[in-house]
Amino acid sequence: MNSAEHIQPNDERRTDPRRPVRLPVAWHDGHRARQGELLDASREGVFLLPAWRPSDALNAGDVIELRCRLGGGELDLTGEVCWLGHSDWHAVEGLGLRIHTTDALRGLLDEVVG
């Protein structure tokens, strides 16, 4: 993550509650494939914990493609970086992503949260 970029979330704007999910994901930021874990999801976005600190700078607005592993299958999501930095909720550094593939995200929530 770009250490100069610390855009924080605004929970007052959140229209849907976060739900803990803890799902392993493969993700791509346009430069290389990476690994990580989704720690929470809502109907509009997810929080991504990278498996390691990305060496290439990431910025708000960057497009991220994710492949979530669910049981025996996979689910693809596309979104953009809304904020990056420390999450007080998770007590880690990560990425807040707005997901554009909302139907797929609803499917993920139905699968893991019920």
Residue 79's nearest CA partner among 92, 71, 93, 67 is: 67
Give the domain ranges of the chain.
19-112
Helix (H, G, I), strand (E, B), or coil: what is residue 16?
Answer: coil
Specify whether domain 19-112 bears CATH 3.10.20.740: no
Indicate the helix (H) or strand (E) that contains 102: helix 102-112
Which pLDDT tens digit goes with each residue over 55-114? 677 889 999 999 998 878 889 999 999 999 999 989 999 999 999 988 888 888 888 776
Query: What is 25-88 written as a DSSP string?
Result: EEEE-SS-EEEEEEEEE-SSEEEEEESS--SS---TT-EEEEEEEETTEEEEEEEEEEEEEEET
pTM of the model: 0.83
